[in-house]
Structure 1
Amino acid sequence: MKAVIMAGGFGTRIQPLTSSLPKPMIPLFNRPIMLHIVELLKKYDITDLVMLLYHQPFVIKNFFRDGADFGVKISYVTPLQDLGTAGAVKAAEKYLDEPFLVISGDLLTDFNLKKVLDFHTNNKAKATITLTSVKDPLQFGVVITDKDKRITQFLEKPGWGEVISDTINTGIYVLEPEILSYIPEGENFDFSQDLFPLMLKKEDALFGCQAKGYWRDVGNTDSYREACHDIFKGRIALQVDEAKQDVTGKNLRFGAVVKLENAAGLEGTVVIGDNTQVLGDVQIKDSVIGRNCTIERGVKLNRCIIWDNSYVKKGTKITDSVICANVRIGQGALLEEGVIVADNTSIGDEAVIKADVKIWPKKEIEAGATVTSNMIWGEKWKKALFEGAIIKGLSNVELTPEFVAKLGCAYGTSLPKGSFVLAGRDSNPSSRMLKRCFVGGLLSAGINVRDMKMTSLPLLRYKLKTFGEVGGVHFRQAEDDPAALEIIFLDGDGLDFSSNMGKNVERTFFKENFRRAHHTEPGVLVDINNVGEFYREGFLRALDRELLKKSGYTVVVDFSFSPASQTLPQLLNELGFTVIALNAYVDEGRGVPGKEKDVALSQLAKIVTSLGAQAGFWLNPSAEAITLVDETGTIYSGVELLSLMSALLMKAGRKGTIAVPVQAPSIIEQMAAQNRFQVNRTKNTDRAMLEAASSSEMALVGTIDGRFAFPRFQAAFDGMFAIARLMELVAAADIPLSKGLASVPVRAYHQKCIPCAWEMKGGLMRKMSEDSLEREASFIDGIKVHFGEEWALVLPDQYLPCVHIVAEARDQKSAQRLMTEYQKKVEGWKKELT
């Protein structure tokens, strides 16, 4: 008797266990599932095997080879296309010249196959289907037989109303070779759908043999875990390679060179593979640990399956979960029931993986993160949702509709029921899609939403200054990655979310402790359309209209296809500007990120000079930041623009305070000292800068990336107003823009970003602090060391694994020397910490 083992399936339903393995090679007690089938066939003297392969065939061939190591003879057949179950057997026809048995390579069973073979022979059957009774027949094909065991009817995956039997098709068949003539060659043909109904129609000798014993289709991850539980409970006996240990009351099996420091915490059935070490006191019950693994002290495992080459650090607790190969689990992590962690994944210290979450291969979970949903596409799950006031992720990959709906519900739960929230978006289609999902979550929590639809972020912030809303959200495409989306959260004053606000939302999101409004009290969604006029009145009131009309400037503005093109040209025209507008229409899904911005600026510079315009501006898609081109076509860096804006403001003679981040050039202080201005250095966060803008004496808040807030108008970054205000200051000074920097002291300014692992940042700053003990230093944000008029700053990035080094000196050579010195120090400290 020969046997055909079906081993070609993709294993789609059992992903991510099949991400790097074909389904029959998934380990079951440290042996591939299919090896248990081979052992079952050997038990009944079936040793001539044909394996039908398709998906990842080399993995199976490399393991079994010719079968001699396992006491069998194996022939391989690998069709070039998916031929279905019967079509694949047809492809092996040359090996099948006598009655043969067909069995799946991903079954777990202990059926007496001799009884099935004898039944087939005694009934002179052409085909015998092995049947068994199950509690839930809905997911299988129900088979009806008469009193002579001839099959009379098939019900493929019936509903409960159709169920007239609990006897199902197990996928184990005994077939005569002549039935292969019924199967068309090279075509997709299935046993259950095509061949057996055809034989029924022909009234062939088609029989069903009722088998008793254990049978399970290991078709999905739940079934895989349940199969392991059944083995632990002794419902089926399998051959296990690891040697049984002589310990009373425990079923312990250890492979070669196992290191176990204390066996007292082992309970039930525990299998430990070759070269694995279990260190210190542990609690392990009914679990299988693969080869070359390390389990540290304090680990608690209950009904767990851990594949080869995995590492579980101390204090981790895992319940009823599957950990695949080459996984690293950090100290004190918690994996709740039903978790699946696929190959080559790293889980950080104190991370929490919620129940039934599946993590696909090659993922990184940050230390302290809480994972609440399946992680399939993205590479990393962050500890915190928020980066400042922003949640950022790949659109429809990390920021999915279901994720964003839950996020909206979490935000709504953090607010008083019945509150009003303002919502807006840019022109990107993904922004529209995800904003609608987010709004649905808000409404479900009993929050009312006023929808500004497509709008610029400064307009949304301006509306929040008025009474009525407790907060707002804006959805926009990320400038540095067109595939990513950003959700900006604002408080009731139009300022960025504080860290406490973000933590409240995160806490609710991860705990899923959502407030659900009664079905009669969901939130209400209304459109709001009059903000533009309200913004216009404030905009014009905050400027010297007569001075600007008298100047009659011509400016070229690149609007980057943003909604600002529907607002700013009219405002500038009312102020007497002649506006040459570029890209001044909304193009959904199109921004000007990355290298396209450089091209746009080059074109802008040419247009400014050719038209004889007094200035050109590139306005970023969210209308918060500007890049300046003067009348000569010179493109200004962010540092130069901040210096120019500060110099012109001071020249205008209005006294006050200017707020700049810690890494802004010190020439601002030099100019302020000469003009009786004050300078307020803030942390390098938007929230810190905008909080500074709320002070009554603040005249300007500026960054080194082209964002400015003028509190007289609104305490928020507004690129549209910055354009008008800059030209007003130029008009007051009565000089061309190119002459504006003449009064600014010349300094050399360098900055660089150095990669640095998260866990190394604290040690790095400790080294920097120790190195700065004998020097003049400030600690507003990072550590800034002063050398007379020169300085160097080492500033850890809040959201990226890197540190920033900034240096300023009197000339380029000195600045470069200072930059090189601190770069060498940082690299040296990194090596020491490693």
Structure 2
Amino acid sequence: MECVILAAGEGKRMRPLTTSRPKVMLPLANRPMIEHLMNSAIKAGITDFIFVVGYHEEAVREYFGDGSEFGANIRYAVQRSQRGTADALNAVKGLVSDDFLLLNGDMVMNAEDISGLSGAVSPCMGVFKSSHPQDYGVITTEGKRVTGIFEKTSEPKGDLINAGAYLLEPGIFGIISNLELSERGEFELTDALMEYVSTGNLTTYALSEWGDVGEPWNLLDANAAMLENLEGNIEGEVEDFVVLKGAVYLGKGSTIRSGTYIEGPCVIGENCTVGPHAYIRGATSIGDNCHVGHSSELKNSVILPDTKIPHFNYIGDSVIGSKCNFGAGSKIANLRHDKRDIMAGDRNTKRRKFGAVVGDGVLFGINSSVNPGAIIGSGAAIAPCTLVEGKISDNTKYGR
């Protein structure tokens, strides 16, 4: 069976992390999220993939190539402009020969569910029971038959959501060709699926596990879930007087220096230096070529490659872009005194503990302080002894 994975979108809600990369290339446990999805499909016995690419497509093509290094065969289709999910799917018209799987590239699924969905009768939609269905498209059913598909609403008609995973047949392309633009100015896949709903042909497959990675803070939950099954492995050097507890993965060419204390699960990439006397707490991923130095502490965070956190820094519950540099004493707070949910801009993270979203190439002057929920744009420069809060645009010089 062929598997189509949608990977063309920018992911505007992920800004500034998607300034220079598509959303699907953001890392979970130091691997692009789309790689985890593909690996689940491979475990389910699927090896033929079509990636629909568009925004910064070169990042996807350069990383995956023809798929041979991953035990897969990958072809590419291009969505030149972002005109909706149906338009993205239409890019593979003529490339699929029979029933095929369609998966959104920004989610987490296990191999068992992919196998179950691929064995269903098409057309079939993967669904999941959500504790906050108001954030998603909701479906109604009679038995396993879909009776309605509804966009996000503050008063959802149930707790069963559209998970963005489908088993479809080539006839879907004929339906797409007759679609009109939606109120959002896009060609919506859900509008095409309503054709099947109207004839009673669309059924459901209930997913046992599922994770949406639509917002920066979702990366923390998905990263922690990926690390739960981490197998510790030390491929680099660990000096004397280092304490490692739980599962710790250390990449080639990396060194953990004396006096460092690490509580797993934690993954550290290649050519990194950690310590001396650093403290890294669970559910933290550190990308390649990073430096976490003397008396710096990291907790439940995702750090992209080539970032330096070298002296007396604290980063908790945060997502940090690549090629950032934290001046000595710079710290990111992650808890409000009133214990309320952290707001990031006008969006509720629904987390009591959340630090900041920091884009690529951000420079922090010494003793900078970042308040919970800050969003700092790529290329920003923060002056020494500055309090950072709210949303900072790309390439801004902030502070005195």
1:101 partner SS? strand
Deviation at 1:67, TM superposition (A): 1.3
Deviation at 1:210, TM superposition (A): 1.5
Residues 538-577 of structure 1: pairs in structure 2 closer than 5 A: none
Residues 212-361 of structure 1: pairs in structure 2 closer than 5 A: 212=208, 214-232=209-227, 234=228, 237=229, 244=231, 252-255=232-235, 258-262=236-240, 265-285=243-263, 286-303=265-282, 304-335=284-315, 337-355=316-334, 356-361=355-360
Unaligned runs of 5+ in 2: 335-354
Separation in 2, partners of 1:41, 1:385: 47
Deviation at 1:398, TM superposition (A): 5.7
1:330 partner SS? strand
Offset from partner CA, 1:789-829 (integer Å, 9 cap, x none): xxxxxxxxxxxxxxxxxxxxxxxxxxxxxxxxxxxxxxxxx
Deviation at 1:215, TM superposition (A): 0.9
Q: 1:96 to 1:374 in 2, by over 3 A?
A: closer
Instruction: Give the letter aligned to residue 165 of structure 1.
Output: G
Q: 1:175 to 1:292 in 2, by over 3 A?
A: same
Instruction: Give the letter aligned to residue 200 of structure 1.
Output: V
Instruction: Give the letter aligned to residue 363 of structure 2.
Output: E
Deviation at 1:269, TM superposition (A): 2.5
Separation in 1, partners of 2:332, 2:53: 35
Separation in 2, partners of 1:398, 1:311: 24
Separation in 2, partners of 1:302, 1:177: 48
Aligned to 1:199: 196
The structure where helix makes up a greater share of residues is 1
Instruction: Give the letter aligned to residue 258 of structure 2.
Output: G
Aligned to 1:365: 364
TM value normalised by structure 1: 0.42
What's the C-alpha RMSD, in Å, of the aligned pairs? Answer: 2.6
Aligned to 1:381: 382
2:328 partner SS? coil
Q: 1:319 to 1:172 in 2, by over 3 A?
A: same
Separation in 1, partners of 2:161, 2:291: 41
- Residue 172 of structure 2, aligned match among 164, 169, 179: 179
Equivalent pair of 1:370/1:383 in contact (CA under 8 Å)? no
Q: 1:174 to 1:19 in 2, by over 3 A?
A: same
Offset from partner CA, 1:73-92 (integer Å, 9 cap, x none): 11100122223112111121
Equivalent pair of 1:104/1:172 in contact (CA under 8 Å)? yes
The reply on whether 1:152 has 2:147 as its aligned counterpart is yes
Residues 669-688 of structure 1: pairs in structure 2 closer than 5 A: none
Deviation at 1:385, TM superposition (A): 5.2
Q: 1:354 to 1:51 in 2, by over 3 A?
A: same
Equivalent pair of 1:90/1:185 in contact (CA under 8 Å)? no
Equivalent pair of 2:242/2:258 in contact (CA under 8 Å)? no
Offset from partner CA, 1:418-439 (integer Å, 9 cap, x none): xxxxxxxxxxxxxxxxxxxxxx
Equivalent pair of 1:17/1:324 in contact (CA under 8 Å)? no
Separation in 1, partners of 2:362, 2:44: 44
Deviation at 1:18, TM superposition (A): 2.6
Residues 417-432 of structure 1: pairs in structure 2 closer than 5 A: none
The reply on whether 1:136 has 2:132 as its aligned counterpart is yes
1:226 partner SS? helix
1:94 partner SS? coil
Deviation at 1:175, TM superposition (A): 0.5
Deviation at 1:277, TM superposition (A): 0.9
Instruction: Give the letter aligned to residue 284 of structure 1.
Output: I
Deviation at 1:397, TM superposition (A): 5.6
Separation in 2, partners of 1:21, 1:43: 27
Equivalent pair of 2:363/2:379 in contact (CA under 8 Å)? no
Instruction: Give the letter aligned to residue 319 of structure 1.
Output: K
Equivalent pair of 2:288/2:305 in contact (CA under 8 Å)? yes
1:62 partner SS? helix
1:205 partner SS? coil
Residues 694-709 of structure 1: pairs in structure 2 closer than 5 A: none
Aligned to 2:66: 66
Q: 1:378 to 1:81 in 2, by over 3 A?
A: closer
Equivalent pair of 1:91/1:185 in contact (CA under 8 Å)? no
Equivalent pair of 1:200/1:206 in contact (CA under 8 Å)? yes
Q: 1:85 to 1:42 in 2, by over 3 A?
A: same
Separation in 2, partners of 1:360, 1:320: 18
Separation in 2, partners of 1:39, 1:138: 30
Separation in 2, partners of 1:264, 1:54: 45
Equivalent pair of 1:87/1:185 in contact (CA under 8 Å)? no
Deviation at 1:302, TM superposition (A): 1.2
Aligned to 2:23: 23
Residues 558-707 of structure 1: pairs in structure 2 closer than 5 A: none
The structure where strand makes up a greater share of residues is 2
Instruction: Give the letter aligned to residue 357 of structure 1.
Output: A
TM value normalised by structure 2: 0.84
1:5 partner SS? strand
The reply on whether 1:101 has 2:81 as its aligned counterpart is no
The reply on whether 1:113 has 2:114 as its aligned counterpart is yes
Equivalent pair of 1:291/1:309 in contact (CA under 8 Å)? yes
Deviation at 1:299, TM superposition (A): 0.4
Separation in 1, partners of 2:286, 2:75: 32
Separation in 2, partners of 1:95, 1:263: 57
Equivalent pair of 2:358/2:378 in contact (CA under 8 Å)? no
Separation in 1, partners of 2:242, 2:291: 21
Equivalent pair of 1:138/1:158 in contact (CA under 8 Å)? yes
Aligned to 1:8: 8
Q: 1:105 to 1:374 in 2, by over 3 A?
A: closer
Q: 1:329 to 1:153 in 2, by over 3 A?
A: same
2:247 partner SS? strand
User: How many corresponding residue pairs?
Assistant: 365
Separation in 2, partners of 1:322, 1:31: 11
Instruction: Give the letter aligned to residue 225 of structure 1.
Output: L
Instruction: Give the letter aligned to residue 166 of structure 1.
Output: D
1:119 partner SS? coil
Equivalent pair of 1:3/1:103 in contact (CA under 8 Å)? yes
2:217 partner SS? helix
Equivalent pair of 1:329/1:347 in contact (CA under 8 Å)? yes
Instruction: Give the letter aligned to residue 199 of structure 1.
Output: Y
Q: 1:322 to 1:43 in 2, by over 3 A?
A: closer
Deviation at 1:310, TM superposition (A): 0.9
Aligned to 1:55: 55
Separation in 2, partners of 1:157, 1:310: 40
Deviation at 1:13, TM superposition (A): 1.7
Q: 1:261 to 1:221 in 2, by over 3 A?
A: same
Equivalent pair of 1:87/1:184 in contact (CA under 8 Å)? no
Q: What is the percent sequence identity of the aligned residues?
A: 25
Deviation at 1:278, TM superposition (A): 0.7
Bigger relative CO (Cα 8 Å, ≥ 6 apart): 2
Aligned to 1:165: 158
Instruction: Give the letter aligned to residue 11 of structure 1.
Output: G
Q: 1:371 to 1:313 in 2, by over 3 A?
A: same
User: Highest CA radius of gyration, 1 or 2?
Assistant: 1
Equivalent pair of 2:217/2:319 in contact (CA under 8 Å)? no
Instruction: Give the letter aligned to residue 374 of structure 1.
Output: I
